Amino acid sequence: MTATNKSLMSGLSRRDFFKVAGLATAAMMVPSVLGGCTMTPNAGATSMADATQSKSSTDVLVIGGGMSGVFAAVTAMAQGLNVTLIDKGVVGRSGSTPWANGFAVLDESQDRDEWIEGVSISSDYVNNRDWLEQVLDDSEARWNDVAEWGLLDSDVRHPSLALRDKLVALGVTMIERTMVTSLLTEAEGDAKRVVGAMGFAIDSEEAVVVLAKATIIAAGAGSFKASGFPIQGLTSDGDAMAYRVGARISGKEWVDFHWTNADTPASCWRQWSGMFSSGLGRTSGVFTSGMTLDSAFQAHTGDTWTSDSGPGGTPPGGDGEGDRPSGPPPDGEGDGDRPSGPPPDSEGGDGQSGPPGTSSGEQVLGAATGLGIHKAEGVWPIDLHGASDVPGLYAAGDGLASMVCGASYAGIGISLSASAVQGVTVAEGAIAYAQQAAEPTLSEEVIAAAQETMFEPRERESGFSPAWVTQVLQNTMFPYFVLMVKEGTRLEAALSTVTFLKNHLVPMLTASDAHELRLAHETANMILNAEMKLRSSLYRTESRGTHYREDYPARNDEAWLAWVLMQMGPDGEMEMSKVLVPDAWKPDPTVDYQERYPTRFPGELEYLGLA
């Protein structure tokens, strides 16, 4: 004890002394902002040994209740199979589904070759034409399906809720508000196959086990819970679960940034509320320039950029919506009754205008940091039915790296129509597999071990809160100079932090209730997603599409007309590899470089000696 402390303590009664000592002890238990120490007691820690468990079996398990998941469930039901669909929220209301309102359709009035060429140019030639052809073949049929289901009816509660109504009408078993945390596997010869999944009910903390002959991941993509765009519920859960059982993952180096209102950048409802009132619309045509990082480039050179329209006159948001919709946000139930007035967190007089004295038309990028390009990120398919490397596991929609769009989002509505198409074609593959697969025989010991691992954050008496660890992750990944303007040493620095989080903080995450338990698993998944994005960005030593390396500012067709894959190795480390794009899909190498690639990266021509 220092002399100063001695003097402070002198003259204290025994009771006063213990009061001071108690306060000091309590202060040590509170997160220290100055010291950065956030390891705290878990006030809600409890034994989960007696947690209830529900267990069921099905032919096909679908994880995720968006467009692709619903189409997969409907297709499997039509073939007479038993189907169970699990959703982290409510079917049709989770993830990005409530905001999806553009559905691209190719019909006989359009030029098919023009679509194919336009998507190839937009994607810098790393799209998969086979998957694109599938979308072009079936998009109109799927549009007719959603029309029949009532998604276009003017009096529908909300288009996305018609998806749920369809499943209810067919008698699909739905397990909602349930966080799926892991895929279950059993040995099959020298390998293993996926035989279902485990999760927990968010409202009751009941463990949920579903054994299945075939499992389809349709859980969407992921982000780092960035403010300003409504994807907070997407945390790469499907990618993470698939990776942990040995599936290959691809497409992580591409970035989808989205725009947000400069006046109220964190108000996601404010930016996109009009999608609820505009309904589902049919779109056609493709962009031929793709998404650009112009605003990030300008910020990097000191010219912080905002604009009414975005670079080149069109804000290249990930869903291609050029105009920010107006109007107040809908209520949480989506029953069609919309409250009047501005959102409660705003100062504007309507659903679009900003605080007094500011312009409501300006936009800034970075509203969806961590999100990948639609249909270019997720589980790597080994066939055109979405099968993964692991028998019994399939993926569809934004959880499948089908590379319909490749390095840059290609056109308005392609994502939603591709999800619908893939829901059917992937289900066909899963149905064929399930019809010949043996019944799962997973032992109770394996199930019990998985359940124990799932509940560990609830039982941990002290550690790190998922909210704080997520904040550290966001602070690491959000700066534009990490994922938008990339450079080797900066990527390595971010990777060092992310791997530390994965190895040292994730094993110490705590949860005081079911809500925090969901957050803990989401945080672990987001950190894995961040590692994938950083490693794939380091691995691809070129610039292409939405991937810009300041130290490699040009396309390198010889080495990198390819897809980057990552897989968990035998030692638990992430292994990187690549698969070359078929020669028939590559651009003509005899065409001049600047004509072959009309969009420019900063420093590109100088790097190539063409300036």
What pLDDT score does 368 carry? 85
pLDDT digits (tens, 9 = 90+) for 42-65: 999 999 999 999 999 999 999 999
- Looking at the predicted structure, is the pLDDT value of residue 312 above 90? no
- Looking at the predicted structure, is the pLDDT value of residue 320 above 50? no
pLDDT band at 278 (very low <50, low <70, confident <90, very high): low
pLDDT band at 361 (very low <50, low <70, confident <90, very high): low
What pLDDT score does 203 carry? 96
pLDDT band at 581 (very low <50, low <70, confident <90, very high): very high
Percentage of the chain beyond pLDDT 90 is: 68
Kind of pairing between the strands at 249-250 and 462-463:
unpaired
Eight-state DSSP code of residue 181: E
Q: What is the CATH number of domain 53-255+266-288+365-436?
A: 3.50.50.60
What pLDDT score does 39 carry? 84
Name the 3-class secondary structure at 394: strand
Between 219 and 292, the more confident residue is 219
pLDDT band at 156 (very low <50, low <70, confident <90, very high): confident
What is the number of other CB atoms lying within 10 angstroms of the CB of residue 221?
32
CA dihedral 484, 547, 405, 417 (to 10 degrees): -20
pTM of structure? 0.87
pLDDT digits (tens, 9 = 90+) for 163-208: 999 999 999 999 999 999 999 999 988 889 999 999 999 999 999 9
Closest CA to 533 of 317, 253, 154, 263: 253
What pLDDT score does 275 carry? 62
What pLDDT score does 335 carry? 34
What pLDDT score does 356 carry? 29
What pLDDT score does 327 carry? 32
Between 326 and 115, the more confident residue is 115
What pLDDT score does 304 carry? 57
pLDDT digits (tens, 9 = 90+) for 541-571: 999 999 999 999 999 999 999 999 999 999 9
User: Which of these ranges, 28-42, 345-359, 533-547, 562-576, has the smallest mean pLDDT?
Assistant: 345-359
Residues 56-82 have a mean pLDDT of 98
Eight-state DSSP code of residue 185: E
Between 291 and 426, the more confident residue is 426
- How many Å apart are CA 39 and CA 36, to the nearest integer? 9
Residues 604 and 293 sit within 8 Å (Cβ to Cβ): no
Residues 469-496 have a mean pLDDT of 97
pLDDT digits (tens, 9 = 90+) for 380-414: 999 999 999 999 999 999 999 999 999 999 888 99
**DSSP codes, 411-472:** STTHHHHHHHHHHHHHHHHHHHHHHHPPPP---HHHHHHHHHHHTHHHH-SEEB-HHHHHHH
pLDDT band at 37 (very low <50, low <70, confident <90, very high): low
Domain ranges of the chain: 53-255+266-288+365-436
Percentage of the chain beyond pLDDT 70 is: 82
- Looking at the predicted structure, is the pLDDT value of residue 309 above 50? no
Average of per-residue pLDDT values in the chain: 85
- Looking at the predicted structure, is the pLDDT value of residue 13 above 90? no
Residues 316-335 have a mean pLDDT of 33
- Looking at the predicted structure, is the pLDDT value of residue 485 above 90? yes
pLDDT band at 604 (very low <50, low <70, confident <90, very high): very high
Between 366 and 110, the more confident residue is 110
Which region, left, alpha or beta, applies to residue 228 given φ > 0 means left and ψ of -120 to 50 means alpha? left
Eight-state DSSP code of residue 351: S
User: Which of these ranges, 52-61, 315-324, 407-416, 463-472, has the smallest mean pLDDT?
Assistant: 315-324
